[in-house]
Structure 1
């Protein structure tokens, strides 16, 4: 059987070791600020729990005084790590207010002369409150991942266990394991292990998604990059072939883009590309594929769209670009776009269709620009 003092030592050492492991992990990876906050939260909380065990052993009153602040400080930093991870803009203000309120409660309890066991009851109650706040942060998003929900549920169960312990056992700490106390201890361990590894995995999951985005998305325009567009357009072509559905392909080029770059600078050219991409997204359907192939050249794949629908979409896009807001860097400059449009024929390779669309784009550029040119169908072999 385990008593309260031994449990505090065990969980304190566990948190300290976990913090050291995280420190070693972060030395060799690009870590996020939230992960650093989490490491310090584990270390500070673990030191507070271990010192709670140490205080009666060495009989130093100062340790008894400082320990609750370290313990609660670790929990506040842990919640701050969640806020930072999920991008809450005012998390610092919330953390400062939480620290101030908790500090006032602890100072008031000490001034009232509460016993050591009563102080642990107060600290546990504050921890339960912050665990409930962490659970709300983790579970409030509809699109939360399974890992995020597991951590959130673990926090909620811990808060409920502390509440049950206070209600049914009145915060007794001078006993060994009871059913409610045992559940509270078990959930405390689960909170240390599940939340510790879980937050580390959440950060890794976020980094992996960011790396995946960097590998597939053009950083300037937020459209697919060249490689990702070819991969997804080829998958769309094969699916259309299996389903016997049409698929349209366009090549697009901003008119006089070199003149814009030379006259107003590359920053202005970048703004033009962003405005064009945003305008195109406002016209296209969610499942249409748009990629930047290089410079001012873009490609579009429209699955399930016949020639008439594709021509209508291309014309809407052309008009929308011509009516796009003026560039902040180029005064009265108006963007226009030339578009080459083809239908991918049955059995035609994507590269061959792109070559036909590129030829249609060339015709559009050489016959006046700011227009849509429909390319001829693929020549059939005899």
Structure 2
């Protein structure tokens, strides 16, 4: 049977070691701010547990009160880390409103001469409430990832384990710990430590997703960058070839973009690119593949779309761009786009189709701009 004092010592040392390990992991890296909150919360909990362990050597009630308040603050930091991670707004005020009454309850218990066991029960009950609140935060999104749901369920199990221990203790007051209570208490804090690893994995998962995004997405427009576009477009071409489905390719260029940059500045040009990207996303289908090849030039692949449908889609996009609101940074500029359209032939390489679409785009621009031009068909080998 585990002695609670020894158990507190083991938990305190383990949590502090965990926090120091995370500090080393975060050093010199661009980590999520939520991970820092979680690290400080875990350190606070570990220090509080060590204080609780040494409390019997000092003035009765004083060190217990201090460690209980620090412990509660550490748990509040962990809940705050979850809120920060998921980008909730105005969560700090709610956290303060829940933390302050907890501190007041701890102060009142100490002032009225509560025993060490009663203070243990009080802080355990408050912590269980906080962790249950964290579970609500984690399980709130309907489409939460599996890892997030597992951590939320783990939090609920932790709260239930604490409340089970409190129920057993309430039915058998005293300082001794029955095997059932021992298991409940041990399980609750092991679950809490496991949640720490889970939160770390959540942060790593988010960082990995950000790195993948930086490697594939154009930071200005939010569209695929050149390399990612070629990969996705070629995958769509090969799939269309296997399924014997049509696939079309469009080359797009914003008209008079150089004059916009020269006349109103590059910041205004950037806003024009973003406005075009937003307009295109509002017109295109979810499975269409669009990317920024460089400057004001874009490419678009329409899987499962024959030439007639591609011309209609190109015309819808051209009209939508022409009807987009005038940029406030360039009052005299009306954004338009020229488009070249081709069908990717059976067995034709993507680069060859792009060359034909680029010729069609050139024809659209020399033909007056703000128009859609059909490209020449693929040359058949003799």
Question: Shorter-chain TM-score: which interval?
Answer: over 0.9
Larger CA deviation: 57-66 vs 141-150? 57-66
| CA distance in 1: counterparts of 2:60 and 2:108, whole angstroms | 21
| CA distance in 1: counterparts of 2:204 and 2:64, whole angstroms | 37
User: 1:272 matched to which residue of 2?
Assistant: 272
User: 2:186 matched to which residue of 1?
Assistant: 185
| CA distance in 2: counterparts of 1:30 and 1:270, whole angstroms | 26
**Counterparts of 1:233-312 in structure 2 under 5 Å?**
233-312=233-312
Kept in 2: contact 1:37–1:78 (CA 8 A): yes
Kept in 2: contact 1:22–1:39 (CA 8 A): yes
For normalisation by structure 1, the TM-score amounts to: 0.97
The alpha-carbon distance between structure 1 residues 215 and 173, as it changes in their structure 2 partners (threshold 3 A), is farther
User: 1:223 matched to which residue of 2?
Assistant: 223
- Once the two structures are superposed, residues 61-120 of structure 1 have per-residue CA deviations (whole angstroms, 9 ceiling, x without a partner) of 532231111111110111011111111121222222222121111122222221111011
- Once the two structures are superposed, residues 275-317 of structure 1 have per-residue CA deviations (whole angstroms, 9 ceiling, x without a partner) of 1110011000000001000000000000000011111000000
Query: How far apart are 1:173 and its partner, in Å?
Result: 6.1
| CA distance in 1: counterparts of 2:165 and 2:68, whole angstroms | 19
Kept in 2: contact 1:76–1:95 (CA 8 A): yes
| CA distance in 1: counterparts of 2:101 and 2:279, whole angstroms | 49
Kept in 1: contact 2:65–2:106 (CA 8 A): no
The alpha-carbon distance between structure 1 residues 173 and 136, as it changes in their structure 2 partners (threshold 3 A), is farther
The alpha-carbon distance between structure 1 residues 236 and 62, as it changes in their structure 2 partners (threshold 3 A), is same
Is 1:51 equivalent to 2:38 in the alignment?
A: no
Kept in 2: contact 1:2–1:177 (CA 8 A): no
| CA distance in 2: counterparts of 1:228 and 1:332, whole angstroms | 35
Query: How far apart are 1:269 and its partner, in Å?
Result: 0.5
Kept in 1: contact 2:162–2:188 (CA 8 A): no
**Counterparts of 1:12-27 in structure 2 under 5 Å?**
12-27=12-27
| CA distance in 2: counterparts of 1:164 and 1:177, whole angstroms | 13
Larger CA deviation: 129-138 vs 142-151? 142-151
| CA distance in 2: counterparts of 1:209 and 1:295, whole angstroms | 26
Task: Find the residue that maps to 2:245 and give its secondary structure.
Answer: coil
Kept in 2: contact 1:4–1:175 (CA 8 A): no
| CA distance in 1: counterparts of 2:274 and 2:29, whole angstroms | 32
Kept in 2: contact 1:3–1:177 (CA 8 A): no
Task: Find the residue that maps to 1:314 and give its secondary structure.
Answer: helix
| CA distance in 1: counterparts of 2:177 and 2:106, whole angstroms | 26
The alpha-carbon distance between structure 1 residues 84 and 103, as it changes in their structure 2 partners (threshold 3 A), is same
Larger CA deviation: 60-69 vs 327-336? 60-69
Kept in 2: contact 1:51–1:67 (CA 8 A): yes
Larger CA deviation: 11-20 vs 176-185? 176-185
User: 1:156 matched to which residue of 2?
Assistant: 156
Query: How far apart are 1:167 and its partner, in Å?
Result: 2.6
Kept in 1: contact 2:158–2:187 (CA 8 A): no
Larger CA deviation: 160-169 vs 372-381? 160-169
For normalisation by structure 2, the TM-score amounts to: 0.97
Kept in 2: contact 1:161–1:180 (CA 8 A): no
Query: How far apart are 1:162 and its partner, in Å?
Result: 1.5
Q: Which runs of 5+ in 1 are unaligned?
A: none
| CA distance in 2: counterparts of 1:175 and 1:17, whole angstroms | 29
Kept in 2: contact 1:254–1:336 (CA 8 A): yes
| CA distance in 2: counterparts of 1:343 and 1:64, whole angstroms | 76
Query: How far apart are 1:177 and its partner, in Å?
Result: 4.0
| CA distance in 2: counterparts of 1:96 and 1:231, whole angstroms | 49
Query: How far apart are 1:179 and its partner, in Å?
Result: 1.8
Q: State the aligned residue count.
A: 381
Structure 1 outlier segments of 4+, above 3 Å: 57-62
